[in-house]
């Protein structure tokens, strides 16, 4: 029984197929099959149902133990590499596109100055996908919309940002600072996708307020939404820090009842935090203690 065999087996369970598993572990499909057969010979029974690619009852037990073993081995390897101070180390960071664009540029620059021999690998996904990557051990650290409340993840709130109403500069409500949902009437609304955590929070707020937006478009990108607002297509609800004074064609206003967004860091519970993770977290904490992320948008 080898770590390679356990790694291939876990990849099959998590991806639901041998081809996808081979891509994840950067091996050929026959090599993954061979590793699984070797593991099954050791176990004395099948671990994967070949028709469904789902684990057998014994396979599920082996998967849970194997995942813990692989995580422990990865942590040990990181701790050894950290102690040796060798070049070529990396920090695997998961973030959303919005966080990467508006929150991280200054932190990335300072991180590169602090640890010039450490390579930053930035993976952009939504919060749930980032959390899953951290849980699998594919990512060392994630920046996500909180709370997650996952039993296997540590989470640390860092930045708080309110959501605001964003509208074209020439909109009838553009000169008002405080607006109610009732004022929006039949306004065409552009919404961030419901599968994002911010999108889900917005829809919960709408339901609580009895507001039924006339949604004309869903998008997974705040940048796309901003562009269409500037073109006069409709209004939206955006984190305040994605708007700044360079967005001359957009105005922002406060709407009572909109939720606050909390951006925070997540990592595996009981994980060894290497120097790279500690340095990056400290940079974020230093900024969080001083101010909100991004520039504050002038309203009205």
Is the pLDDT assigned to residue 19 strictly greater than 60?
yes
Percent of the chain exceeding pLDDT 70 equals 95
Span 72-83, pLDDT tens digits = 887 787 777 776
Is the pLDDT assigned to residue 296 strictly greater than 60?
no
State the Cα–Cα distance between residues 25 and 27, nearest whole angstrom. Answer: 6
**pLDDT mean across residues, the chain:** 89
Residue 71: per-residue pLDDT: 80
Span 142-187, pLDDT tens digits = 999 999 999 989 999 999 989 999 999 999 998 887 899 999 988 9
Residue 295: per-residue pLDDT: 46
Q: What is the rounded average pLDDT of the residues 230-258?
A: 90
Domains and CATH numbers, the chain: 3-83 (1.10.10.10), 86-158+263-290 (3.40.190.10), 160-261 (3.40.190.290)
State the Cα–Cα distance between residues 144 and 288, nearest whole angstrom. Answer: 15
- Count of residues for the chain? 300
Residue ranges of E strands in 36-187: 48-49, 54-55, 90-95, 119-124, 141-146, 153-168, 178-179
Global pTM? 0.72
Confidence of residue 206 (pLDDT cuts 50, 70, 90): very high
Q: Is the dihedral of CA 25, 30, 31, 34 positive or negative?
A: positive
Q: 242 near 102, Cβ under 8 Å?
A: yes
Percent of the chain exceeding pLDDT 90 equals 70
Is the pLDDT assigned to residue 94 strictly greater than 50?
yes
Report the DSSP beta bridge partners of residue 161.
261
Q: Which of 41-55, 81-95, 108-122, 151-165 has the lowest mean pLDDT?
A: 81-95
Is the pLDDT assigned to residue 297 strictly greater than 60?
no
Q: 294 near 242, Cβ under 8 Å?
A: yes
Residue 81: per-residue pLDDT: 72
State the Cα–Cα distance between residues 128 and 144, nearest whole angstrom. Answer: 8
Residue 70: per-residue pLDDT: 87
CB within 8 A of 215, min separation 6: which ones?
189, 190, 191
């Amino acid at each position: 029984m080898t770590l390679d065999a356990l790694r291939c087996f876990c990849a099959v369970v998590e991806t639901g197929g041998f081809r996808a598993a081979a891509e994840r572990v950067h091996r050929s499909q026959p090599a993954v099959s061979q590793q699984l057969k070797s593991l099954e010979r050791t176990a004395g029974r099948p671990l994967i149902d070949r028709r469904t690619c789902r684990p057998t009852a014994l396979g599920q037990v082996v998967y849970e133990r194997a995942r813990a073993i692989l995580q422990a081995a990865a942590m040990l390897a990181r701790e050894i590499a950290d102690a040796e101070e060798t070049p070529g180390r990396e920090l695997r960071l998961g973030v959303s596109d919005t966080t990467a664009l508006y929150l991280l540029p200054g932190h990335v620059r300072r991180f590169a100055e602090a640890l010039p021999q450490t390579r930053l690998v930035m993976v952009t996904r939504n919060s749930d996908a980032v959390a899953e990557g951290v849980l699998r051990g594919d990512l060392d650290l994630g920046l996500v919309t909180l709370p997650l409340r996952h039993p296997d993840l540590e989470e640390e709130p860092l930045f708080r940002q309110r959501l605001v109403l964003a509208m074209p500069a020439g909109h009838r409500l553009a000169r008002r600072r405080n607006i109610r949902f009732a004022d929006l009437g039949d306004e065409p609304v552009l919404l961030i996708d419901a599968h994002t955590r911010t999108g889900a929070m917005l829809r919960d707020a709408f339901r609580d307020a009895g507001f039924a937006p006339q949604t004309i478009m869903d998008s997974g990108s705040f940048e796309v939404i901003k562009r269409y607002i500037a073109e006069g297509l409709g209004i939206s609800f955006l984190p305040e820090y994605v708007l700044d004074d360079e967005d001359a064609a957009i105005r922002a206003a406060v709407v009572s009842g909109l939720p606050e967004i909390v951006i925070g860091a997540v990592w595996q519970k009981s994980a060894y935090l290497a120097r790279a993770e500690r340095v990056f977290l400290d940079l974020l904490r230093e900024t969080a203690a001083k101010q909100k992320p991004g520039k504050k948008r002038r309203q009205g």
